[in-house]
Amino acid sequence: MNKIEKIVDDSGNFVKLSRLAKTYKQKLASSTAFKNRLKDLENLAQTNRLCRYVLDNWEAMVTEKPRSLHQRIRIIDTLVSQSQLEAKKKELEDGLKWSTTPIYIKFLQQCFNIKTCPYCNAQSTLTLKGKKDPRVLIELDHFYPKSIYPYFMFCFYNLIPVCHNCNHIKSDDDFTIYNAFHPYYIDIDNHCQFEIPSKTVADYFAGNIETKELIPQLKVKPQFRTNQGVENRLNKHVEGTRLDEVYSEHWDIAWEILQKARHYSSIRRKGLKAVLPNLVDSEIDRLLYGNYLEKKDIPNRPFVKLTKDLIDQWEK
Ligand SMILES: [Zn+2]
């Protein structure tokens, strides 16, 4: 739900994505597993021009930004005839065989160090770094799916740290930077907001509908509603991650926010300020709503985007 530009390293310092991409490239180039895959491609390249292209260009492609990567698709797809394209892609995908979870994938999972999924902001993506038993809850989604774009499967800017649910639900859905929200490229929070229609809220308070019908939906912000491109990206995102179904399960959170925003936020805020005079306003808000309310904190905890957007809607 937020653009990923920097990550926090183990020492608490911000690291730019471009720097992490360079480190990833070094790790990849020195990995025995990757070198073995390149050897496999050398054999395939004798009869498969897609494999030849990857061998000749992989060093540039590893750290290439999404827009430049996209420009390669048309070139690559003209390398073999349309009738052979799918078979050659499959051969390339099998030749690379990333599904063996080689060392560089683990390296990236541990580096990302983000707490929530950028696709849904509903699930944790923690990395538990215990020395005896490290566990990684982050998965790496291939934004351009490997079944359609196998030549991008090792590219840093095509690997998105997401939750298990989003990775498996999205699967082979044909996301590109021109039809979906790429988290390194576009900020969903700038363009879309969670809403529950005013009529639904009125019906709830009138006793006409049940609490579980307070279902939040992600919508394009008013200033972009004439922009068909944003609408299309949102539809792709929601369908690809089944976000509407995920959030329909969380009507209880929406109900809590609604009650607090409607009935006691101002009274409670004054009371908390009186007993906790050393806290700043943002800390008072956190105590009040049980979550962060600022854009910068969307990556830090699940449902920050939902909480922030609904309060914006209901407290004004
Ligand atoms: Zn997710």
Query: What is the pLDDT averaged over residues 244-262?
Result: 92
Q: What is the pLDDT of residue 306?
A: 97
What is the radius of gyration, based on Cα positions, of the chain? 23
The rounded Å distance from CA 89 to ligand 1 centre is 28
What separation in Å is there between the alpha carbon of 54 and the centre of ligand 1?
30
- For the cut 60, the answer to whether the pLDDT of residue 296 exceeds it is yes
Residue 38 has pLDDT above 60, yes or no: yes
CA of 117 to the centre of ligand 1 (A): 5
Cα of 159 from ligand 1 centre, angstroms: 14
Which segments of the chain does DSSP mark as H helices, in order? 17-30, 32-44, 49-61, 66-77, 82-96, 103-112, 164-170, 188-191, 198-205, 228-241, 243-248, 251-259, 265-275, 281-289, 304-315
Q: What pLDDT is attached to residue 104?
A: 63
Q: Does residue 109 or residue 87 have the better pLDDT? A: 87
| Residues near ligand 1 ion, CB 5 Å cutoff | 117, 119-120, 123, 163, 166
294 CA to middle of ligand 1, Å?
20
- In this prediction, residue 101 has a pLDDT band, given cuts at 50, 70 and 90, of low
Confidence at 203, pLDDT banded by 50, 70, 90 = very high
In this predicted model, what pLDDT tens digit does every residue of 154-171 receive, in sequence order? 899 999 989 999 999 998
How confident is the model over 45-80, as pLDDT tens digits?
999 999 999 999 999 999 999 999 999 999 998 999
Confidence of residue 103 (pLDDT cuts 50, 70, 90): low
> From ligand 1's centre to the CA of 122, what distance in Å?
6
Cα 243 to middle of ligand 1, angstroms: 9
pLDDT value at position 10? 65
Q: Which two tokens stand for residue 253?
A: 């959170």
